[in-house]
Amino acid sequence: MRDLLIQQISFTWIFIIVGGTIAVILLLLLSRWRRRRGSARTDHAKEKSVTSAIPAAAVLSPAPFGEWAGLDKRALEGRLSKAMRQGKDAELPMLYLALADRSLVNDEQAGAEEFLRKAILGATAADQKAIHARARVTLGDLAHGSGDLTTACEHWQIARGIFLELSQSADQEAVERRMQRNGCPTDWVLTEF
């Protein structure tokens, strides 16, 4: 009886060791497959930056700055003041996004973050979801650059959800790759911004 019990315990340990080894090997293979699949998607050299100053955002399609694309910060601030005086609230989010871009070009990160937050608030009020998402991506990039991966992942996840809602699959996949590359969890319950 004792020999049978020892034999059963031995088989149990062998089963645990072999099963665990197989599970680890399968996880490693799955991880390698996902990395290869993700790297195949990143072969889009033509994708442009949401802003010209943040190379990490280079996977998103170009930001639609329209008539404001070539203006410097001072000219953009003049346009912003004019739009505010004239009550053109629908123009404000894009102007804030363009001003954030100019601020980043001038290495003014604090000013850029303020403009990005204003772009988010204005875009939310004006139901301009694409601008909201782009501002979130850039805020995430700035948080990541400052070493705050948690905040970066939160911004990126919100942006990814908005791009999904808008059926902008290229931008959604770009944000998804950014999240995977930086190890962001994909099942968070986010807090309010």
Under 8 Å between Cβ of 96 and 118: yes
Of 54-58, 63-67, 100-104, the one with minimum mean pLDDT is 54-58
Which of 23, 72, 35 lies closest to 52 in space, CA to CA?
72
User: Rounded to an integer, what distance in angstroms lies between the CA atom of residue 98 and that of residue 102?
Assistant: 6
pLDDT tens for 156-181 read 999 999 999 999 999 999 999 999 99
Are 105 and 173 part of one and the same domain? yes
Q: Between 60 and 165, whose confidence is greater?
A: 165
Which of 37, 59, 74, 40 lies closest to 140 in space, CA to CA?
59
User: Rounded to an integer, what distance in angstroms lies between the CA atom of residue 193 and that of residue 173?
Assistant: 23
Domain count, the chain: 2
Are 78 and 2 part of one and the same domain? no
**Letter for the amino acid at 157?**
Q
| Domain presence at residue 189 | no
Beta strands in the chain (DSSP E): none
Under 8 Å between Cβ of 135 and 171: no
Confidence label for 188 from pLDDT (cuts 50, 70 and 90): low
Are 11 and 70 part of one and the same domain? no
Tokens of 41: 């998607």
pLDDT tens for 33-42 read 676 665 444 3
Nearest 5°: the CA angle 145, 150, 154 is 100
Judge whether residue 51 has pLDDT over 50: no
- Residue 47's pLDDT is 30
Are 11 and 100 part of one and the same domain? no
| Domain presence at residue 187 | no
| Domain presence at residue 188 | no
pTM of the model: 0.65
Which residues span the domain enclosing 11?
A: 1-41
Are 23 and 57 part of one and the same domain? no
| Domain presence at residue 186 | no
Contacts 24+ apart (CB under 8 A), 112-119: 112/53, 112/138, 112/142, 113/139, 113/142, 116/142, 118/92, 118/93, 119/93, 119/94
Residues constituting the chain: 193
Are 31 and 53 part of one and the same domain? no
Tokens of 170: 């290229």
- Residue 63's pLDDT is 66
99: domain CATH number is 1.25.40
Are 114 and 174 part of one and the same domain? yes
